[in-house]
Amino acid sequence: MLEILLFIVGIISGFINVMAGGGSFLTIPLLIFMGLPPTVANGTNRLGVFLQSLFAVRKFNQYKVFNLNFALAVSIPATIGAIFGAYLATIISDAAFKKYLAIIMIAITFISILNPVKNIQSKEMQYSLARKIIIFIVFTLIGIYGGFVQAGVGFLILAGISLTGFNLVEGNAIKTFVIMVFTIFALIIFIANNKVDFLLGIILGIGNMIGALLGTKVTVEKGHNFIQKVVIACIIIFALKLLLS
């Protein structure tokens, strides 16, 4: 019965993750509720995230809204950070991870309230050396966070996208690619440290893939303004959820 619930929540999470972010705030607590140690729940969630991102990237590419060169460029610092973050997540205790997760949830709540997507719009950008360095540092830090816990990293990447001149449709495509790339390396680290439950991860992943395909279609067809409203709604919902919890 709980496996069916995990599948359904996976669909919802995949849809939310592609359009905005924060779906892991649903899946990680559910995996813990199902009996997984917190650090294993964290690792298992990555399998679903990877499968969801893989399918979403393919779909975004079909819709021709995907800037591969830029996505590859920011994936490099994000992956460097994610490797370090994932390593940290595998060496801390379950009790410590739960404490860090609570702190992170509070921090993401306040970041979400600031509405990081408000400055995202299509515009010409001059990529000076200083801007390139800032983008590199920002995406390295985002990668560390994403490697460590994943939950809410979509919001942070969209905030980083505000430095780049892409709109939300393009930004979501870039976000999804970056997450796919760094999750490969993070997942390898979690698997090597026996922090992944493959059965639950596959069940979650199938749900995530379905949700991601739906989310990608809606993202492209509805456009920037609609996505901005969805992201803001998700930010408010998750902020309230985290504040109340």
133 burial class (0-12, 13-18, 19+ CB within 10 angstroms)?
A: exposed
Give the separation between CA 151 and CA 114, rounded to whole angstroms. Answer: 17
| Res. 56 pLDDT band, cuts 50 70 90 | confident
Instruction: State residue 241's pLDDT score.
Output: 64
First CA to last CA distance, the chain = 25
Condensed to tens digits (0 to 9), the pLDDT of residues 9-28 reads 899 888 888 877 778 888 88
218 and 159 Cβ atoms separated by less than 8 Å: no
Instruction: State residue 238's pLDDT score.
Output: 61
Give the separation between CA 52 and CA 29, rounded to whole angstroms. Answer: 19
Instruction: State residue 50's pLDDT score.
Output: 94
Extents of the domains making up the chain: 2-244
Instruction: State residue 180's pLDDT score.
Output: 95
The lowest-confidence range among 103-112, 122-131, 140-149, 223-232 is 223-232
Q: Which of 46-50, 103-107, 124-128 has the highest mean pLDDT?
A: 46-50
Give the separation between CA 217 and CA 203, rounded to whole angstroms. Answer: 22
Could you tell me which of 109, 79, 96, 94 has the C-alpha nearest to residue 35?
A: 94
Is the confidence at residue 244, as pLDDT, over 70? no
Percentage of the chain exceeding pLDDT 70: 84
The lowest-confidence range among 116-125, 145-154, 229-238 is 116-125
Instruction: State residue 173's pLDDT score.
Output: 87
Is the confidence at residue 41, as pLDDT, over 60? yes
Instruction: Report the sign of the C-alpha dihedral through residues 155, 158, 160, 162, in that order.
Output: negative
Is the confidence at residue 126, as pLDDT, over 70? no
Mind giving me the DSSP string for 64-93?
Answer: T---HHHHHHHHHHHHHHHHHHHHHHHHS-
Could you tell me which of 15, 30, 63, 46 has the C-alpha nearest to residue 196?
A: 46
Instruction: State residue 29's pLDDT score.
Output: 83
Could you tell me which of 153, 150, 42, 17 has the C-alpha nearest to residue 98?
A: 42
Give the separation between CA 134 and CA 93, rounded to whole angstroms. Answer: 33
The residue with tokens 């590419």 is 61
**What is the mean pLDDT of the segment spanning 93-114?**
77
The residue with tokens 């669909």 is 11
Instruction: State residue 83's pLDDT score.
Output: 97
**What is the mean pLDDT of the segment spanning 45-58?**
91
Instruction: State residue 144's pLDDT score.
Output: 96
Instruction: State residue 224's pLDDT score.
Output: 54
**What is the mean pLDDT of the segment spanning 229-236?**
65
CB atoms inside a 10 Å sphere around CB 63: 14
Eight-state DSSP code of residue 34 = T
Give the separation between CA 13 and CA 204, rounded to whole angstroms. Answer: 9
> What is the number of alpha carbons within 13 Å of residue 103 lying toward its C-beta?
8
Is the confidence at residue 168, as pLDDT, over 90? no
